[in-house]
Amino acid sequence: MSAPPEEPTVAFPQARRGRREPRPSSSLISSSITATTATTVSAPLEALERDEIRRTRWFCYVAFVISVVAGGSLGWLHGNRTAMQIMLLAIAASAFAVAFMLYRTRDPVRFRRPSTALGWVVIAAGATTAIPFFGAFSPAPVVLVLGIYFTGLGKSPRMAVVLYVLAAGVQGAVGLLAITGLAPDIGLVQAGNLDLRQQLIIQGLVQFVFAMTLVIARLSRRAQRLAVEELEREVRISAHREALLIEAREQLERALRPGHGRFTGQQIGAYALGSVLGRGAMGEVYEASGPGGLVAIKLLSQTSLGNATHVMRFFRELRTAAAIDAPNVVRVLEIGEHPVPYLVMERLEGKTLAELLRSRRAMATADVLDLVRQVGAGITAAAAAGVVHRDLKPQNLFRHGELWKILDFGVARALDQGDTLTAGQIVGTPSYMAPEQATGATVDHATDLYALAAITYRALTGHAPHASGDLAETLYRVVHTAPRRPSDLAPRLPHEVDLVLAIGLAKHAVDRFASAAELAEALGDALAGELAPDVRSRGSALVRAGAWADAAQVVPHRRIARG
């Protein structure tokens, strides 16, 4: 009825109240960065955006050098005085625009603002003033080619087209005026020795080079994006295979263990114990036969019998589980204390969610929605009985026929009682633990709702929202960082699911759904493309505040009050 846990339930000592929260050591931060880099690649657009910011910074440095050299050279050239003055003013304006762009590249959030386009326009307009001064038939258009190619590699095709039209328009207008004689050719380099046909051919070639430069740049941008997407897919597949290998190793170790336990063949009350169904942190679960047929009996392990805390926790599970009567919570038939504390439960046939997720990367959306509805009903019944589970995870959810059952209330706590048993400790499973639980703060029904949202994330995407090879690192991520956007990990998911899970996994309990029914309803609406406007607004606000990793890399998490 149970399986080895995907991740152990842990109890960490909590920092004393009033003390400053300890900062992670440099080694922890380093390992976090290394682990994240090794197993996760940012979404293609994020990676390309960071590359664009770096390229823009270097482009600004080069543009500044060109401006200085060009401005210093004008004094040695004897061109048209008016054109020279216009060009000098343009160089000065471009220098300010370069400084503005460098400032914007220091913060990706500022760089994304539409007003950043103003810097590009000023720089491009400044560069076009070289055409009248040097002449439409001079090498000056080479500078414009560089600008067209650079902006063509950027995120915005609209900006690339605008700058191309600006450059091509100025070049074409100056060239046309010179060819037709409608205005005097004031450029340093003139076409006096070229006939009309040669001038037209040269200007046509310049326009052709401009257009082809834009096309090549956009094709290069597309090739970059496809390459990053392919790399991301390969890394995700590799990480999933690695996780499957670890789970397979654990399963093999379990299979090699004997099916008999220390109580196999013995009598507990009216029940004859058979083989071991599973082992957990504190006890063993045996198959047993009794007057009503087959049952499952959980007994404290020999190690736990000598641990007063484990004994008290086990007795709490007996009392807690017996107090909840709901179809989606494992049914308790009997409790006893002799010869060892034991809990008699209904015998379940099937697999845990953890076992099901080992056999497939992610679940169908309809199955996940059914899971959320049923498990949500279970934790709602627990809340009605005044109980917070505190350790919801795939290991503790069992598929019995068409029913999902919640198992293991060993670390549950009563809402209306002080928790002296685990006071001063952080209890639960880090990957599915709410931030307030990870910091040892007060937990309530919202804590279980967070865990249900984390399980939903895992079942839909094939990845836990926060996971690493180190428990302390995972706890740090739960509290301080944002997970990957679900639709990045599972592109088949509607973007509305991102909004729903942003609410479900909100760092602050007040920002989450008020009930499991709300979460299930919102998820169903999102999957159907009919998300309610108020839920969409709440989710969008949290996404803008950094609910997902693409924004959280640059925006600290902010509290969004529920409206």
User: Measured between alpha carbons, how far is 13 from 539 in angstroms, rounded to an integer?
Assistant: 34
pLDDT at 560 over 50: no
DSSP state of 555: S
Q: What is the pLDDT of residues 360-375, one digit of tens each?
A: 778 999 999 999 999 9
**What's at 326, amino acid-wise?**
A
Q: What domains are defined for the chain?
A: 10-38+351-552 (1.10.510.10), 44-232 (no CATH), 267-346 (3.30.200.20)
pLDDT (average), residues 406-416: 63
Q: 12 pairs with which residues across the strands? A: 426
Length of the chain (residues): 563
**pLDDT in the model for residue 53:** 85
Question: Where does the pLDDT of residue 9 fall: very low under 50, low under 70, confident under 90, or very high at 90 and above?
Answer: low
Which ranges of 293-364 does DSSP label H, i.e. alpha helix?
302-305, 308-323, 353-359
- Least confident stretch, 133-142, 167-176, 493-502, 541-550: 133-142
Q: What is the model's pTM?
A: 0.59
| Mean pLDDT on 285-306 | 84
pLDDT digits (tens, 9 = 90+) for 198-230: 667 767 767 776 777 777 767 777 777 777 777
The residue written with tokens 């036969």 in the block is 289
Q: Peptide bond preceding 141: is omega within 30 degrees of 0, i.e. cis?
A: no
Q: What's the pLDDT score for residue 552?
A: 37
pLDDT over 60 at 12, yes or no: no
Q: DSSP secondary structure string, 89-120?
A: HHHHHHHHHHHHHHHHHT-HHHHHSTTHHHHH
Backbone CA torsion sign across 439, 482, 457, 40? negative
Confidence band of 1 (pLDDT split at 50, 70, 90): low
Q: How confident is the model at residue 280 (pLDDT cuts 50, 70, 90)?
A: low
pLDDT at 187: 78
Confidence of residue 232 (pLDDT cuts 50, 70, 90): confident
- Segment 170-176 shows an average pLDDT of 86
488 vs 41, which has greater pLDDT? 488
Q: For residue 555, is pLDDT > 50?
A: no
Min mean pLDDT across 309-313, 423-427, 539-543 is at 423-427
Cα(429)–Cα(280) distance, integer angstroms:
13
Using pLDDT thresholds of 50, 70 and 90, give the confidence band for residue 37. Answer: very low
Give the pLDDT score at 484. 94
293-300/342-346 β-pairing: antiparallel
Q: What is the pLDDT of residue 135?
A: 80
**144: pLDDT strictly greater than 70:** yes
Q: What is the pLDDT of residue 115?
A: 87
Query: Looking at per-residue confidence, does 74 or 313 come out higher?
Result: 74
* pLDDT (average), residues 23-49: 44
Q: For the segment 180-201, what is each residue's pLDDT rounded down to a tens digit? A: 888 887 877 777 666 677 667 7
Interatomic CA distance for residues 557 and 563, integer angstroms: 18
Q: Is the pLDDT confidence value at 324 over 70?
A: yes
Among 110-114, 277-281, 367-371, 533-537, the range scoring the smallest mean pLDDT is 277-281
User: What is the overall mean pLDDT for the chain?
Assistant: 79
Res 412: pLDDT: 53
3-class state of residue 307 by DSSP = coil
Range ranked top by mean pLDDT from 19-23, 202-206, 318-322, 470-474: 470-474
Instruction: Provide the pLDDT confidence category of residue 347 given band limits of 50, 70 and 90.
Output: very high
In the chain, the amino acid numbered 286 is Y
* Per-residue pLDDT band at 424 (split at 50, 70, 90): very low
Residue 392 confidence (pLDDT):
93
Q: What residues have CB less than 8 Å from 357, skipping those under 6 apart?
A: 363, 394, 458, 459, 462
Q: Which residues are catalytic?
A: 391
249 — pLDDT class (breaks 50, 70, 90)? low
Evaluate if residue 561 carries a pLDDT over 50: no
Residue 258 has pLDDT above 60, yes or no: no
CB 304, CB 295: distance < 8 Å: no
Amino acid at 202: I
If you average pLDDT over residues 452-457, what whole number do you get? 98
Q: At residue 410, does pLDDT exceed 70? A: no
Local confidence band at 492 (pLDDT 50, 70, 90 cut-offs): very high
**Which band of pLDDT confidence, cut at 50, 70 and 90, is reported for residue 34?**
very low
**Share of residues in the chain with pLDDT > 90 (%):** 28
Is 124 a residue whose pLDDT tops 70?
Answer: yes
Confirm if 118 and 159 have CB atoms less than 8 A apart. Answer: no
For residue 222, the model assigns a pLDDT of 74
Nearest residue to 45 (alpha-carbon basis) of 197, 265, 180, 225? 225
Average pLDDT over residues 266-282: 84
The mean pLDDT value for 455-484 works out to 89
